[in-house]
């Protein structure tokens, strides 16, 4: 653990180092742990810092005993501030991850939309969507079928998985081992489906599942309205 190591390093300076300064050094350690770990790691680091601050840096030394009110207050504040900065670090990291994830979703939609608007043709759009779905949903594989031959659990626009006469509980069971499908629809018509070779028990975030349906519908738009090249343009 980092806190006991840092507290031990401060031992040679404890006679002249104010305890408030030592506590601030340990707060920096807690922030570093929380920023690179999780809430539990940060709380453990805060508790550990308070214990080893008491053991190494308050009189009587090398005992878990505090004899002055000022040292008690400093130790309690170290614990409370450590817990607070841990929560702030965890929330900040979560917001950064959310921003990056949302950016990736928007980039996937944008690249597919641009491809549909180009003269690449339906096959290129289907290939792009197949690759995007595999990444978004963490699939083992994905393929497009224009003439489905069987029924599979269906991923719907709201991110749920329609199964039989109800909905499959993905939060509890993850994706079913039989796989799933996403219909490629446009203006009320069905132009095929993407068959998802799922990893049983795994589940992608709700937003990823909703984006997956949007991408499949972009493929349907390309199939329903293939862009013709202008006369005279090289084929």
Q: pLDDT for 182-197, tens place per residue?
A: 999 999 999 999 999 9
Contact 179, 152 (CB under 8 A): yes
| Domain-located, residue 9 | yes
Residues 136 and 179 reside in one and the same domain: yes
| Domain-located, residue 129 | yes
Last residue of a domain, one of 30, 61, 95: 95
Q: How many domains does the chain have?
A: 2
Residues 135 and 177 reside in one and the same domain: yes
Residue numbers of the domain that contains 175:
118-224
| Domain-located, residue 157 | yes
The percent of residues in the chain predicted with pLDDT above 90, rounded, is 42
H or E stretch at 197: strand 189-197
Q: Is the pLDDT of residue 127 over 70?
A: yes
Residues 132 and 81 reside in one and the same domain: no
């Amino acid at each position: 653990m980092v806190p006991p190591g840092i507290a031990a390093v401060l031992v040679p300076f404890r006679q002249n180092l104010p305890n408030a300064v030592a506590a601030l050094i340990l707060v920096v350690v807690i922030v570093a742990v929380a920023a690179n770990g999780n809430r539990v790691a940060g709380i453990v680091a805060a508790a550990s810092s308070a214990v080893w601050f008491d053991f190494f840096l308050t009189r009587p030394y090398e005992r878990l005993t505090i004899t002055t009110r000022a040292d008690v207050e400093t130790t309690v504040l170290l614990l409370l501030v450590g817990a607070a900065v841990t929560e702030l670090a965890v929330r900040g990291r979560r917001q950064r991850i959310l921003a990056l994830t949302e950016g990736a979703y928007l980039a996937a939609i944008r690249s597919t939309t641009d491809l549909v608007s180009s003269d690449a043709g339906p096959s290129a759009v289907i290939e792009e969507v197949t690759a995007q779905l595999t990444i978004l949903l963490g699939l083992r594989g994905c393929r497009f079928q224009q003439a489905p031959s069987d029924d599979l659990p269906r991923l719907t626009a709201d991110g749920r998985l329609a199964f039989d006469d109800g909905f499959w509980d993905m939060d509890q069971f993850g994706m079913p081992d039989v796989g799933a499908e996403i219909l490629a629809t446009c203006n009320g018509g069905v132009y095929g489906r993407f068959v998802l070779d799922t990893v049983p028990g795994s589940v992608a975030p709700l937003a990823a599942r909703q984006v997956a349906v949007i991408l499949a519908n972009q493929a349907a738009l390309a199939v329903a309205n293939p862009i013709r090249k202008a006369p005279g343009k090289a084929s």
